[in-house]
């Protein structure tokens, strides 16, 4: 089917043809050497006007003011924007004014990528500007950017429709520079975390994404099929069980930044594909891991913002240690007034209904408690808070509490009303672990689609002996949302999952 073009797209293709007719390659193969950036020039030139007298820079045309034999242009490179002064007699050789009168004035458009050479000066209006000596077209843009008008100062459509922004992230990054900054901060966050973990002496590893059994979390998997092996495989929902195998194998500390996949609902806090950092350290427990999390996240805040206090929406969240701590039962009692520590499943169902917390028959005791906590406690936890000591039913992979019957040694860090990490004193008793898996199978029979499966190879590894171990999972996307004040997980993913795009005749 032939492509249906808009009027603007047709005009640009006509310009493309004319450029080719004039012997100008709109997509030249040669390299263009750059020796400066927009931000570098703006930062250094005011201090030393002798710099950048032979500057070579490239970028995308973002605005133009054509005034007869001279023009002002603004280009944007990866660091920002800078003004150009383009004079006809400077860029045209001899009597041939074609480059300026035809190519520059008529055939170049906003969005085209150009390379220029010249020298830097300051205009009478005080604007740092590059006086162009030569100009070359590096790439012709065949679609117009979302610009409202092209007058003295180009006013850009904010490109605020979320669906357009997420589908066409490349356009979003061009016209909304603050979006680029979000992803720069995400990279700094990951590098800060990696630097901290490497400094502690832990080994970064890689584990399988395609797994014969999914495990390490309570979630529904994506399923695929491998033709050669003639077997069903699953995209991992977590990498926990493989990292624990490495602890069995003799490593004292391993971590992985992992892409995980869960076949579940989507909202502003959930994407089917997401990033976690999981860490496992031998001979440690969950109390030790809480201290590590506080120290590491405090460092991340300082690396990103120069302070532990971060503005998130209307809240100022302070990551300075120490963070507040509640047991799960203490939190529920604090926010609802009810002590659930001695309640059975029927009593919990009755309490949930009295609190208008939705429950259903597939939920076991642990899920009901989690539902009450999620509805009545989480929304109130704005400052970083550790919630500790979860019911054993909620945590099939955590070690039983050393002093509290029916609980496990587990914590979650809650911040801005959402979980940002989950950690255990890891269960290393293979007999207890088998019993926990079997209990999960029973929940699956009741209709719980997120119950865990029984992994015989993992149980076999535990039978060889895993030392006491502390384990941690941190949601990189959630933490990035907080550290960049992003309202949706889609804002911190370059290419979030979307529903299939509706086809139109003008695509």
Domain boundary among 97, 122, 157: 157
The pLDDT value recorded for residue 127 is 96
The pLDDT value recorded for residue 387 is 98
pLDDT band at 461 (very low <50, low <70, confident <90, very high): very high
359 found inside a domain:
no
Task: Note whether 211 and 128 are same-domain residues.
Answer: no
The pLDDT value recorded for residue 381 is 97
Instruction: Inform me whether the pLDDT recorded for 158 exceeds 60.
Output: no
The pLDDT value recorded for residue 98 is 81
Task: Note whether 419 and 461 are same-domain residues.
Answer: yes
Instruction: Inform me whether the pLDDT recorded for 272 exceeds 60.
Output: yes
233 found inside a domain:
yes
pLDDT band at 153 (very low <50, low <70, confident <90, very high): low
Q: Which of 302, 282, 276, 283 is nearest to 196 (CA)?
A: 302
Task: Note whether 139 and 194 are same-domain residues.
Answer: no
Q: And the tokens for 482?
A: 């907080």
Task: Note whether 49 and 102 are same-domain residues.
Answer: yes
Residue count of the chain:
507
Task: Note whether 141 and 217 are same-domain residues.
Answer: no
Angle at 31 between CA 27 and CA 36, to 5 degrees: 115
The pLDDT value recorded for residue 284 is 98
Instruction: Inform me whether the pLDDT recorded for 151 exceeds 50.
Output: no
79 found inside a domain:
yes
Q: Which domain holds residue 400?
A: 179-323+383-492
For 338-347, what is each residue's pLDDT tens digit? 999 989 999 9
Query: Which residues partner with 258 through β-bridges?
Result: 276
Instruction: Inform me whether the pLDDT recorded for 149 exceeds 50.
Output: no
Distance (Å, whole) CA 456 – CA 433: 11
pLDDT band at 444 (very low <50, low <70, confident <90, very high): confident
The pLDDT value recorded for residue 150 is 44
The pLDDT value recorded for residue 441 is 82
Task: Note whether 28 and 69 are same-domain residues.
Answer: yes
310 found inside a domain:
yes
Q: And the tokens for 86?
A: 């383009």
Task: Note whether 278 and 202 are same-domain residues.
Answer: yes
150 found inside a domain:
yes
For 477-498, what is each residue's pLDDT tens digit? 999 999 999 999 999 999 999 9
Instruction: Inform me whether the pLDDT recorded for 156 exceeds 60.
Output: no
Task: Note whether 55 and 138 are same-domain residues.
Answer: yes
Domain boundary among 123, 157, 191: 157
Domain boundary among 122, 157, 192: 157
Instruction: For the chain, give the percent of residues with pLDDT over 70.
Output: 95
Q: Which of 48, 101, 36, 23 is nearest to 75 (CA)?
A: 36
* Residue-averaged pLDDT of the chain: 92
Task: Note whether 275 and 423 are same-domain residues.
Answer: yes
Task: Note whether 315 and 452 are same-domain residues.
Answer: yes
pLDDT band at 96 (very low <50, low <70, confident <90, very high): confident
For 390-419, what is each residue's pLDDT tens digit? 988 888 889 999 999 999 999 999 999 999
- What is the CATH classification number for the domain harbouring 471? 3.30.930.10
- What is the CATH classification number for the domain harbouring 138? 2.40.50.140
The pLDDT value recorded for residue 1 is 58
pLDDT band at 206 (very low <50, low <70, confident <90, very high): very high
For 289-306, what is each residue's pLDDT tens digit? 999 999 999 999 999 999
The pLDDT value recorded for residue 504 is 61
Of 28-42, 96-110, 112-126, 482-496, the least confident: 96-110
Instruction: Inform me whether the pLDDT recorded for 56 exceeds 70.
Output: yes
The pTM of this model reads 0.90
The pLDDT value recorded for residue 362 is 83
338 found inside a domain:
no
Query: For residue 190, what are the CA distances in angstroms to 169, 187, 196, 275, 483?
Result: 21, 5, 10, 11, 12
Number of domains in the chain: 2
211 found inside a domain:
yes
Task: Note whether 80 and 209 are same-domain residues.
Answer: no
3-state secondary structure of 146: coil
For 237-267, what is each residue's pLDDT tens digit? 999 999 999 999 999 999 999 999 999 989 9
Q: Which of 279, 258, 260 is nearest to 270 (CA)?
A: 260
For 304-334, what is each residue's pLDDT tens digit? 999 999 999 999 999 999 999 999 999 999 9
Task: Note whether 210 and 120 are same-domain residues.
Answer: no
Distance (Å, whole) CA 499 – CA 75: 34
377 found inside a domain:
no
Contact 325, 293 (CB under 8 A): no
């Amino acid at each position: 089917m032939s492509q249906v073009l808009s009027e603007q797209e047709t005009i640009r293709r006509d310009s493309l043809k004319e450029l080719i007719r004039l012997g100008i390659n709109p997509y030249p193969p040669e390299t263009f050497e750059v020796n400066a950036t927009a931000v570098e020039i703006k930062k250094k030139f005011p201090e030393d006007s002798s710099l950048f007298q032979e500057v070579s820079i490239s970028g995308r045309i973002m605005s133009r003011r054509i005034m007869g034999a001279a023009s002002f242009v603004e280009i944007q490179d990866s660091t920002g924007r800078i003004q150009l002064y383009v004079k006809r007699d400077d860029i045209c050789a001899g009597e041939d004014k074609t480059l300026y009168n035809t190519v520059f004035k008529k055939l170049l458009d906003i969005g085209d990528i150009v390379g220029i050479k010249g020298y830097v000066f300051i205009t009478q209006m005080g604007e740092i500007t590059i006086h162009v000596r030569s100009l070359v077209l590096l790439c012709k843009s065949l679609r117009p950017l979302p610009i409202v008008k092209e007058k003295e100062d180009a006013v850009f459509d904010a490109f605020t429709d979320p669906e357009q922004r997420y589908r066409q992230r490349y356009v979003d990054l061009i016209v909304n520079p603050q979006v680029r900054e979000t992803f720069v901060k995400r990279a700094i966050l990951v590098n800060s975390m990696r630097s901290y973990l490497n400094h502690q002496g832990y080994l970064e590893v890689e584990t399988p994404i395609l797994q014969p059994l999914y495990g390490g979390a309570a979630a529904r998997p994506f399923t695929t099929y491998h033709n050669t092996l003639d077997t069903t495989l699953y995209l991992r929902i977590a990498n926990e069980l493989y990292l624990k195998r490495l602890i069995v194998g003799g490593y004292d500390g391993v971590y992985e930044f992992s892409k995980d996949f869960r076949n579940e609902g989507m909202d502003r806090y959930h994407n089917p594909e997401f990033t976690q950092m999981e860490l496992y350290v031998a001979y440690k427990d969950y109390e030790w891991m809480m201290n590590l999390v506080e120290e590491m996240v405090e460092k991340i805040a300082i690396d990103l913002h120069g302070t532990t206090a971060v503005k998130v929406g209307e809240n100022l969240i302070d990551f300075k240690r120490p963070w507040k701590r509640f047991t799960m039962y203490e939190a529920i009692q604090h926010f609802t007034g009810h002590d659930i520590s001695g309640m059975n499943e029927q009593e919990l169902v009755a309490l949930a209904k009295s609190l208008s917390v939705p429950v259903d028959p597939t939920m076991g005791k642990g899920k009901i408690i989690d539902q009450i906590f999620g509805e009545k406690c989480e929304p109130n936890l704005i400052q970083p808070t550790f919630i500790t000591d979860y019911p054993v039913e909620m945590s099939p992979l955590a070690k039983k509490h050393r002093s509290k019957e029916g609980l496990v040694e587990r914590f979650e860090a809650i911040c801005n009303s959402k979980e940002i990490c989950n950690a255990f004193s890891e269960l290393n008793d293979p007999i207890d672990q088998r019993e926990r898996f079997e209990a999960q199978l029973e929940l699956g029979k009741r209709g719980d689609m997120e119950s865990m499966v029984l992994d015989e190879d993992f149980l076999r590894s535990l039978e060889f002996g895993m030392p006491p171990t502390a384990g941690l999972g941190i949601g990189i996307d959630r933490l990035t949302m907080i550290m960049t004040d992003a309202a949706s997980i889609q804002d911190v993913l370059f290419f979030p999952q979307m529903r299939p795009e509706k086809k139109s005749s003008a695509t």
